[in-house]
Amino acid sequence: MPQITVDYSAPLSEGFDRSGFALALHDAVVEIAAAKYEACKTQFRATEDTTVGRDAGGHAIVHVTLGLLAGRTDETKVRLTEAVLELLRKHVNTGEGVALHASAEVRDLDASYRKFDA
């Protein structure tokens, strides 16, 4: 915990500072949600095809999902998602003529969540 997944349109690969974003996001999660650095894990998944509405071109999507152990207030979750969006503004450069659609959500991990480190 936290389990962080970042889905993003593959054409953003060169303009998305993923490492810088992840490190800044871990700082935010520690500060806002009282997580520990060593528990922050972020995975990036590039998606090849993006369609928005009736338009299959000129758009890019980034969606960040943060899975946290239950117990954070709704206010904490909102602060965290707002911080994610601000960090995306700083770390994603779409280039000319590309509309960026960025979103984030915080979910409580299910009570069945377990992990191990080897």
| Residue 118 covered by a domain | no
According to the model, what pLDDT value does residue 117 have?
83
Instruction: Look at residue 117 and tell me if it is in a domain.
Output: no
Q: What is the pLDDT of residues 47-80, one digit of tens each?
A: 998 888 887 778 999 999 999 999 999 999 999 9
CATH number at residue 16: 3.30.429.10
Domain count, the chain: 1
Is there a domain that residue 16 lies in?
A: yes
pLDDT tens digit sequence for 92-118: 999 888 999 999 999 999 999 988 888
Identify the domain containing residue 23 by its residue range: 3-108
Least Cα distance to 108 among 16, 33, 58 occurs for 33
What predicted TM-score, i.e. pTM, was given to this entire model?
Answer: 0.93
| Residues near 37 by beta carbon (within 8 Å), at least 6 away in sequence | 26, 30
Q: Model confidence at 81, in pLDDT bands (50, 70, 90)? A: very high
Confidence at residue 69, expressed as pLDDT on a 0 to 100 scale: 93
User: 114 lies in a domain?
Assistant: no
Please report whether residue 74 resides in a domain: yes
